[in-house]
Chains A and B, each alone.
Chain A
Amino acid sequence: GAVVSQHPSRVICKSGTSVKIECRSLDFQATTMFWYRQFPKKSLMLMATSNEGSKATYEQGVEKDKFLINHASLTLSTLTVTSAHPEDSSFYICSATGWRAAGNTIYFGEGSWLTVV
């Protein structure tokens, strides 16, 4: 079945630096990808929706200049946390839907743990 891969699974970065998380659809073309943030024992919170080749749509309260999302191809979306701070430490998950998955299910990546020190 369709698989969505995230990389890295864990990353530690220094405060003030930027870190990029990749989300890839491995065997289908993901026309739409979603980025979520999840705090411990809390539900997933949608950050933004990205459609291939266009600008991402951010949810209210999410800083688009801090969380840069790029969806340049049908199989890859990236989330860049710029000038990271300790409060950005969280679990980030992407999901994707596309030609094979549309109308069937939405596939989630394995998630990426970000720790800012």
Chain B
Amino acid sequence: KNQVEQSPQSLIILEGKNCTLQCNYTVSPFSNLRWYKQDTGRGPVSLTIMTFSENTKSNGRYTATLDADTKQSSLHITASQLSDSASYICVVSASDYKLSFGAGTTVTVRA
């Protein structure tokens, strides 16, 4: 069964600090891995997408890494801002359309 596990479930950080979110998956065959940011009550917004051959990808203060051998990915948030408070969802695709979702990590940034 294809699974995506995210950790931690939630975290609280102070504004300006960095944090790293983890995603482990067992989806096979692997096509790509995406990180989404979802504000409460809104649809997910794409942050990064990585294929098998990509190890890292950045989008502003968000940097995602991928180790396809160990089936692990991380999302690093640099110099966090209050607006970074949201759920971050790891989504792994075994094909272009079949997605497996992680449960998400809820990030709370405090002033």
Contact = CB atoms under 8 A, between A and B. Distances in A.
Interface stretch (B15-23, B41-49, B64-72, B74-82): B41-49
Contacts of B101: 43-44
A104 B31 CA distance: 12
B41 A91 contact: yes
B85 interface: no
Chain B interface size range: 10 to 19
Nearest to B9: A41
Interface residues of A, number: 24
Given A43-B89, A49-B97, A108 B43 contact: yes
B27 to A, nearest CB: 14
Given A43-B89, A43-B104, A103-B96, A108 B44 contact: yes
Contact of B41 (A44, A102, A111): A111
Nearest to B45: A108
B36 to A, nearest CB: 8
Interface in A52-109: 91, 93, 97, 102-109
Interface of B: 34, 36, 41-46, 49, 89, 96-97, 99, 101-104, 106
Instruction: Enumerate the 10 nearest inter-chain pairs by beta-carbon distance, A residue then B residue, closest first.
Output: A108-B43, A110-B43, A43-B101, A111-B43, A43-B103, A108-B44, A105-B46, A109-B43, A44-B101, A93-B43
